[in-house]
Structure 1
Amino acid sequence: MKAILTLLCGACFFINVHGQVRREARWCTVSAEEQVKCETLVDAINERDALGESYPPGFDGGYLKLPQLMCVQAMDRFDCMQRIADNNVDLIQLEPGIGYTAGEYYNMLPIMAEKYVAGDNDDGLSYYAVAVALKSRPDVTFDNLKGKRACHSGVGRAAGWVYPVSTLIETEQMPIVECNVPVKSAAAFFGPMCAPNGLTRYYNPFGNNPVSVCENCQGDIEEFCTINDPYAGYDGAFVCMASGDGDVAFVRHHTLTESSTSNTTWTPDDFELVCTDGTRRPYDQAENCNWGEIASHIVMTSNIHNPELQSEFKKLLTLLSLDFGEEGEHKDIFDLFESRHFGKANLMFTDASKALKDVVEVDGGNRLTYYDWVGEEHRRRLTVLNTCPIQQARICVVSDYEMTKCENMIMAFAAKTLKPDLNCIMGTSVRDCMEKIRLGDADLITLDAADVYTAGKSYDLVPIAAEDYTGYEAANYYAVAVARRTDSHLTLFNLKQRRSCHSAVMTAAGWIIPVDKLIETGQIHVRGCNSYFSVGQFFSKSCVPGVLNSHYNTKGTNPVNLCEACSSGGNMHCERKSDELYFGNSGAFRCLTEFGGDVAFVKHTTVRENTDGRNRADWARNRRSDDYELLCNDGTRKDIDSWRYCNLGLVPSNAVVTAKFKNAETRAIYWTLLNFAQQFFASDGNDDFSMFDSMLDHKDLIFQDSTVRLVHVFPENQTYEAYLGPSFLRAMERNANIDCVTGSWSASWSPSLLLALLSALLSTLITI
């Protein structure tokens, strides 16, 4: 009779043939061989129960009183960790390198530890990381590993990766190729390698790791360079080297004797240890010739399980160790720490294990978390592994709200150990930030296209990344004019003496493009070379954040009515920063919705971002997108989704800029930091932090909230001229070169423009 599985209160229980309800202990396996061993263990438990013999003290009732062991096969350990996080499985054995990842990213904790020496004390709760080479290859030494073929148990594993690679980086043998990507550094240092998982998504998020990291692996299509590759794991890495497909293997010290004694092709005496002092030693001298001492492997479970359930799991594992371990009374039924007759080594547990020990009983109970289990030295090694030539990347912000978000970014980036470290510098304005970056007192800031022009022309700054608002690497957007649907008489050609809302002075969508359009169509006639004065004469009242700031009001003559429609009070009124509630694209749209203006000049995504429940702020909560329309160049109006055909012009996206004097390597490091960060924090649904989301009432902090991702500005385009393109450059230059005699652009009107004006005039007459 088969068991019946039921779900009860989110936990999986088991009803056996006797009607007893037992909680499952679902063990996650990662290969067919491990699944067979696990299922064989389940059979051994049933056989042990059937014997009717007594159980050790404290285990009255035996396995029937404990959770029922079940076996669930997954693709790999990361799949297992995700299943544990989702409460679909419960238990897995992990070596400390991957165990640290499990604790940090999957909320798991250690409950039992492998013990490699018999006895009740704390001896045997660690092992050595060693490098092994054939005795016949005396040329393989610590000082000449460059270019050698390396065999690793797996990327991310302690003895097979973290300790050897960190040692080579720390001793400056291995140069840093790219921050946050030690796989690339290892690939550049070694020759052809087998480093399983080196091309998987977790360690290769951008899909551009060199294929040489897997060149010497041996698996078929599905197993190639995975944890199931024949050359994966400690045993696989040793065979990779011993078979001549590698020059050096990075393994644990037990591996050499286990693998060599189980294979008749070689003996332990055929190998030597490669020491970090440049010498070589016999295979049995790992204590004096190793690359570090590492905490033993651990059985881990979800941290969300209550202490009572964790205790039940521990009792089950303890009884398994007492029954089937090295000194188990029923080892003849099943050998818990032997795997080779199942087809592979180290299945479920390390074959070198003698027993399992409750972590509560280790070191007086001071190593109960993944963090404490691996220890200070392992954590230091991880820091070394993420060594970066640049210590910090300083983002310049211009408001208290941006500073708050930036400080949250610091914590989020640090939690993912991203390098270089992020820092935040407060500037008094965007221009002040430009100056700070020019002088080397800050490194990065995200700028509107018009500010990119100013930053490049006046401050020698260059773009390195651009915001993408579509997800298709389209680093641009459309500038549009938005009006209320109820103001149906309003067109782009009868805005005189209306009220206007602008994202900010000298921004692309909020000022450059619309003012350029109004001057080009002859509606604004600039007098005295002062476009600010002429715009103030054209509109009755406006909110143009920053227009009275000294950078833009050099003579103190800019009209105050350009700030009269702004919302914030005191010193923040009409400031070119998020302290002004009507600042930015969302702020300009808010100005329109709250009847501060009749038209808002914004980017084409703004209306959608702030209507139909997409913005939870009070001012946007009940806004409907169909209450607004776009004003078109031909004098007509269209719905807000027709921006592709009804816009004022195409604008380059906002860009992250840095100083021109920064070399190519430094710029690449900044981009890598941002690129890695967005792999973790691009989603607005991320509970920890979202790069492209801002707090209520203050949108577009540091980055535009409509950003889907950042895209790289390739080195050949890292000038403001190349990034902005000829069309936008002409608009910027026209703004700076108004004909002071005619009061218009020096270029003559085109026939197409005259036709558009005539069409608009006819449309207006028909309406009248």
Structure 2
Amino acid sequence: MKTATALVLATFTLLSSGKKFRWCTLSDLEQRKCAELSKALLAVLPLATINSFARVSCIRAHNTHDCIDKIRVNKADAASLDAGDVYSAVKMYGLTVVAKEIYKEGSCVFAVAIARKGNLDIQKLRGVQSCHNGARWTSGWNILLGFLLARNDLFWDKEQPLSQVISGYFNASCIPGIGVTSPQLCALCQGQKSYVRDKNHFCETSGNEPFYDSEGAFRCLKSGAADVAFLDHLEIMNATESDQEEYELLCPDGTTAELRAYSTCNLGRGPGHAIISRHNFQKITKKFLTLIQHLFGQKGKQKARFELFSSAPFRGKNLLFRDATQHLQLLEDQAEIAHILGLDYVALLKGLGHEGSSLDNSVVRWCCISHAELRKCEEWALSIKSDPLVCVQATSMTNCIEMIKSNEADAVTLDATHAYIAGKCGLVPVAVECYGKECGPGTGRTEKLIRFTDGALSPIYAIAVAKKNAKHVNVHNLGGRRSCHSHLYSPGGWLLLSRYTVGALENDAENCDISSAYQSYFWKSCMPGAVGNLCKVCIGDDETEMPKASSRCAANHNERYYGNMGALRCLVGNPSGRSFGDVAFLEHYNLLQNIENLDNTGWAKGYTPNDFELLCLDGRRVAVTEWADCNLGPVPPNIVMTRPMAITKIYDFLMKSQESLGTSLDPDFHLFQSQKYGESDLLFKDATQYLVHINHLDYQAILGEPFFQLAESVFNCTHADILDFCKQDICTSSS
């Protein structure tokens, strides 16, 4: 009780300076609810202070952008807005976010498409009539457009305004707030028209437009004005029986579902409403929100007098706050907008041009993980005749995933394990590398691609290699030996290997983290990107500009023992002849070429394929050419990954690149060759014959069920910082 009294008095002190706390409202009903909030506060504050307390003042705005402007120029203090408007308020008007609304499923909403039962599916949206909860809003605009663009259902060359593209896609719409320059997108709206601004409510983001907000978009559909409505799931959480009988959700796969199935049938997930204020007023705003929530929230002491998150007494919905709000979560000062709204969502908004046109939208930013890759990428940029290419420096494949998710880069080629990680982080496939003789432009057809993902086309195998003269080494006695791995998280040298080395420990809860188990299993190793004794064999690179200590065990080519070529170098030892490895775990496809390169590059003289043998799972040792019968398992292809919004841009760029640079007809630059840069497999595997479009297959289908399930089981128990980074995204769905 003392704490509650102290809270009230502390807030009163801040608010009793003679200045009213001014809440911005968007309808007459909100004005009424706001006025009742003011009365309720006066009624419950201590009587001794009531004369000096400044009441809540309710500032009526014309629309949400008028609210933003009023707060900016100190004519109002706070408002709760859709995340799309919140982003604009922060990035374009210099306001700040002080709190988020928290709903039953968290702070995020599902974007859903609703139609009458039996009338429509998601693949037949072109030419229909549509209603949306608001222009540049999370559910009715941003996620919907991201969904359509990622599927190539909507074509936008960035030269046209996006609103013009939408006008050509839908037959007629009501998208409140879209503006007078897009009359087709306001054609279905029903607000009052007037040349007097304060009397014009047509197609405005305010309660006086009947089809405004999610409630209004659903009302628009029910009225028969539209064929489909795009809104957030909060509107249908408590749908009536008649609504459930008459309407259904449109799912991304072309099926439909009942209204209550919004968590599995939706177009995506994004942040809900948040409360904005000015920077110099955020402390007072937080104190005010704390007070009214303490008094009138779901567990409020004075809830019987006034309910903060209920609009029914005022015959409206979502007045001041969404009715589905459970509580308000206060945010830290100076919190980054990307962490408030989510990295994926902010990247989506940038892609949709919420901050205006950007150079980032016109160039492809390729992620490079080493000096050698950067050199090759820069030659690619000079050689390509079409889209501009910018080469972005990163330190590892996991760093590339972070940069793409944060919209600091656009694309990278990832091995199968890193592609799994990237998929968990919300990135999507653009193309896969194809390595066999069957590869070529024709393999983009769906039926061939399905066979490709089943491993029918020239699979790559994970193999274990030892020197022929080390007769005592076999697959059953690798514990306690020196090992060479291409890198941390590599498919063959980390993930598949776990089934045959530390696999016996998988039922021991204390040792199921395979990175930790490898530390105990091997004596010492070079596994670039790892730590501890798994780095003791690594040597770094004397030739790079960075100090050797910073390149040693780096998860990139700056570590000379990185990758397939690096693991082979590790096995034979450094140029002085000192041997560091008893066994090397790598991939078969360029083994013979890499053995030849040992001599050609002067790394180690005199080695031939006859000097090495493969270790088989049954304990045998065979010639290095017998990998088809002596391997640790097939490895899925490398995958080019990007953000969903960038799929079309990256795919078009890659197709143009490989048409002009992917063959040996170009004497200066070859997209799939790396020897001239002193390394192998730079940007793409050197074995790549062609990049195949994957026709909207997801990363799980490309990796294949056995590999995917192995990765699931391993990462459920093995800690990875990159997955922690991705889980920070506020709208990462657990479903």
Greater RCO (Cα-Cα under 8 Å, separation 6 or more):
2
TM-score, length-scaled by structure 1: 0.43
Choose 1 or 2 for highest CA Rg. 1
TM-score, length-scaled by structure 2: 0.44
